[in-house]
Amino acid sequence: MSSESRSPWFLPIIYVGGLIFGFGLAISGMAKPEVVLDFLQFEDFGLLFVMGGAAIVTGIVFAIATRSDRTAPLTGSSYVRRVKEFDRNVVVGGSIFGVGWGLSGICPGAAYASVGIGNLPILWAIGGMFLGAYAQGYWRSRQADSDAAVAPSD
């Protein structure tokens, strides 16, 4: 999908999708760390309906879209499922994410939405997420020295 083939509606529809996504996170309360922590401490199981409800919608949409041979109208891309290869990192990364989520009550999408509800202390968490993403990217770039030959874009 090159940027040349994109429809002028590409960025507006991404924005609208994000808007609905963020509105949903706000109304569900998931943008509030307290609500997530209440769930993890078994005091409020409502979050099951957030993840469950969202996964049922995407599940139905993915199932129907991937059965058709149509392509996405704004990009011409074909519809595929989100299936990532399994390796040890999926479990190690999931565990590290779990410790972070359990400590802070914050995950990436919910943290962005939390900014929108005026929660400025959440910037601590977003700053932490960027530091963490940078640390793992730096470390893994060092691990794969051969990749260092790839020239940066700017």
Partner 1 sequence: MSELVPLLALADFFPRGILPYLIGGLLVGLGAATIYLSTGIIAGASTFLESTLSYVSDVPRFNRFKYVQSRGWRLVFTAGIVSGAAVYVLVSGEGMWTTDVQWWRLLFGGFLVGVGTRLGKGCTSGHGVCGVGSLSNTSFVNVATFLAVAIGTAQLVQALGVSP
Residue whose CB is less far from partner 1, 67 or 112? 112
Q: What angle do CA 70, 11, 129 make, to 5 degrees?
A: 110
How many Å apart are CA 89 and CA 48, to the nearest integer?
25
SS3 state at 78: strand
Nearer to partner 1, 43 or 67 (CB): 43
Q: How far is the CB of 67 from partner 1 (least distance, A)?
A: 13
Greatest CA separation found in the chain? 51
For the bound state, the minimum distance from the C-beta of residue 87 to partner 1, rounded and expressed in Å, comes to 9
In sequence order, the 6+-apart residues with CB closer than 8 A to the CB of 100 are: 106, 132
Q: Whole-number minimum distance, CB 4 to partner 1, in Å?
A: 12
Q: In the complex with partner 1, which residue's Cβ is closer, 67 or 153?
A: 153
Q: Is 83 left (phi over 0), alpha (psi -120 to 50) or beta?
A: beta
Shortest Cβ 153–partner 1 spacing (Å): 5
How far is 136 from 86, CA to CA, in rounded Å? 19
Q: How far is the CB of 34 from partner 1 (least distance, A)?
A: 6
Residue whose CB is less far from partner 1, 67 or 148 = 148
Nearest Cα to Cα of residue 125 among 103, 140, 96? 103
